[in-house]
Structure 1
Amino acid sequence: MEQEKWINSVINSTYGITKVMPDDLLFSKIENKIKEQNVVSNKWIWVAAASFAILFSLNFEVIFSESKKSNNDTEILASSICKSNQLY
């Protein structure tokens, strides 16, 4: 019951509020700020995309070349250690 009274008093507190009128030049000020922002040229976007592509391909190549080397190294190591199947 008390909670409903409190909710109603909060809702009723907004009845006497008048709307605030914004400054007439506010919209033009906001538009000018948006126009002043720097725009990145397409040249730099392509440079960044090419850089990411090169880095991705280099990482891809390094990962797969390392996995091939490690498989061969482990096979050589395993064959050199274990000459027979005897456990003792």
Structure 2
Amino acid sequence: MNMETKDNWIENILNSTEGITKVAPNDDLFLRIQNHIKENKVTPQTIWLVAASIMVLVLLNVTAIKSKMTSKPETAQTYMSVVVSENNQIYQ
């Protein structure tokens, strides 16, 4: 394809949209779409319910983390005393 043919092809493609008219949507369809959008709004009650649920989950997580941090971690000696006292064997 030579340069002149390529330029003509590009011009033909760019000019192909000339004379196309803009399509106007049906007024009834437009009103139905707007009504459908208005019907799907979230109510303030739903927003508050979601916010309260998130707060409950956050508080439960904070409580669980605090209780885990305040409990005494088991040491190796404590673990060994439990194992030895149950079956009097150090190795199983």
What is the TM-score normalised by the length of structure 1?
A: 0.58
- Structure 2 partner of 1:58: 60
* Equivalent runs, 1:1-88 vs 2, <5 Å: 1=3, 3-35=6-38, 37-69=39-71, 72-74=72-74, 76-77=75-76
Structure 2: runs of 5 or more not aligned: 81-92
Please tell me the residue identity of whatever aligns with 2:18. Y
d(CA) in 1 for partners of 2:79, 2:26: 85
Q: CA deviation at 1:12?
A: 1.0
Please tell me the residue identity of whatever aligns with 2:36. K
d(CA) in 2 for partners of 1:57, 1:33: 38
d(CA) in 1 for partners of 2:25, 2:50: 42
d(CA) in 1 for partners of 2:65, 2:79: 26
Higher relative contact order (CA 8 A, sep 6+): 2
- Which deviations, in whole Å up to 9, do the C-alpha atoms of 1:37-69 show, x marking residues without a partner? 244332232122111101111112212322343
Q: CA deviation at 1:79?
A: 8.8
d(CA) in 1 for partners of 2:25, 2:11: 30
d(CA) in 1 for partners of 2:22, 2:45: 47
